Chains A and B, each alone.
Chain A
Amino acid sequence: MNGVHDMGGMQDMGPIRYEQDEPVFHAAWEGRIYGINASLRARGEWNLDAWRHQIELLPPADYLQMTYYERWLRINEQLVVKHGLATPAELAAGSANPGSAKATPALTQGMTQDMTHAGVARHLGRGIPSSHDPKTPPHFQVGQTVRARNIHPIGHTRLPRYARGKVGAIVRDHGVYTFPDTNAHFQGEKRQHVYSVRFPARELWGGQAPPQDSVHLDMWDDYLERV
């Protein structure tokens, strides 16, 4: 989707606002929504790619005005309704309808045996829909010149606009990962190789870029074509 989230190369977004000694969470509610988000994701009703796509579906004007954790709050409100875990009326009331089903928190189940940081981390780690698989052959080799395909899917994609149609070289094969463009829409994992692709800055931005500079993107097989 050519959404507002795909920001690489946009201009005039203002100065970078740096905060000295920045706290991890700026208010207690940010930490709570972080934890709620992790707990819900650990249930597995939606995968990480679907979660990312939900953020991208926020109306562009809202996306730009919201803080980071305001986006997390909004999409978690949307996801619990979308996946039938709560109704809008329950959200508004902050309490469950009488007689509604009661579950057991997934994150707690995973953490009760091991409440250490590593236990939390292991449980969260299950939400990352990617892994290595030596049986899936690569379509490209390290050193090969490739072009990022000029595609504009209406759904989720991790191929940024600024790289589409551009020519680069494969510098590393990272192994096999779930393909986000299908996984985000629950259309299968379509596992394939992901490569580090080096694009000269001038290929992306023209003569204004210094000749020696470069941008590396991580690209799935389906994002690339032979030159």
Chain B
Amino acid sequence: MSAAAHNMANAHDHNHDHDHQAIPSDPALRVKALESLLVEKGLVDPTALDALVDTFENKVGPRNGARVVARAWVNPAYKKRLLEDAPAAIAELGYTSGQGEHMVAIENGPKVHNLVVCTLCSCYPWPVLGLPPVWYKSAAYRSRAVIDPRGVLREFGAQIDEDVEVRVWDSTAELRYLVIPERPAGTENWNEAELAALVTRDAMVGVAKVPAPGEKA
């Protein structure tokens, strides 16, 4: 946020007595003050915070989802389980977490392209994709994905044919959606690990296709 925006936000606060606090406007300082206070009160353990940051920076992310997709591509029985009971199939690979116990996998095909959004905020399948990128949480994406998904897809560089159904999933409840993209041509002889390296986060949200080998993502 710009300094001007900060000043405007603060000016606004001072007209709201429910929120009148002489606290620093810099979020870094405010977070530091909040953490110090909560640690002193025994409400927060700083080592637990370290563990959480490490989890999302280093252990959970779209590589998890890519492994799920690659296995579904090479193993029809696994794909069937994934489509019928995604939480159980994803847990087979060792991934479980808070925003993920109600996972649903949705499959792209020649006649349907799926795209996931949370118009109300930021719901996202954490265990398979990690925390959402800023654009996914932005007003621009949340507002347009449901009314103009083809425009959004064009902006991301995805070519979707006229006769394909674009099917948008607005995550309004506790279900979390993972798109199984189409396996690109030219990968018939690839193994699971090679395929997983090809699968992108954007394809699993549905704003892009998985690029064919040698094609730019």
Contacts and interface: CB of A to CB of B under 8 A. Distances in A.
B173 interface: yes
B41 A204 contact: no
B174 A128 contact: yes
A210 B152 CA distance: 14
B45 A125 contact: no
Contact of A216 (B57, B133, B168, B174): B168
Contacts of A26: 134
Given A62-B12, A95-B37, A8 B143 contact: yes
Nearest to B115: A215
Given A17-B134, A24-B131, A95-B36, A9 B143 contact: yes
Q: Give the interface size class of chain B.
A: 35 or more
B163 to A, nearest CB: 7
B42 A104 contact: yes
Contacts of B101: 125, 128
Most chain B beta-carbon neighbours within 10 Å: one of A24, A34, A70, A93: A24
Nearest to B147: A9
Most chain B beta-carbon neighbours within 10 Å: one of A38, A94, A101, A204: A94
Interface residues of A, number: 100
Main secondary structure of the interface of A (DSSP, over half): mixed
B102 interface: yes
Interface stretch (B26-34, B71-79, B187-195): B26-34
Given A13-B143, A69-B27, A217 B172 contact: yes
Interface string A25-45: 111110111111011100100
B163 A212 contact: yes
Interface string B40-60: 111111011111110111011
Contact of B43 (A17, A105, A122): A105
A226 to B, nearest CB: 21
B146 A34 contact: no
Nearest to B122: A68
Given A33-B31, A213-B149, A159 B98 contact: no
A107 B53 CA distance: 14
A218 B106 CA distance: 14
Contacts of B28: 27-29
Nearest to A17: B135
B82 to A, nearest CB: 15
A11 B30 contact: no
A121 B172 contact: no
A187 interface: no
Given A34-B56, A174-B102, 7 more contacts: A8-B117, A9-B119, A55-B121, A91-B23, A120-B48, A121-B127, A209-B147
Q: Which 5 pairs from chain A and chain B are nearest by CB?
A: A35-B49, A94-B33, A8-B119, A218-B173, A124-B98
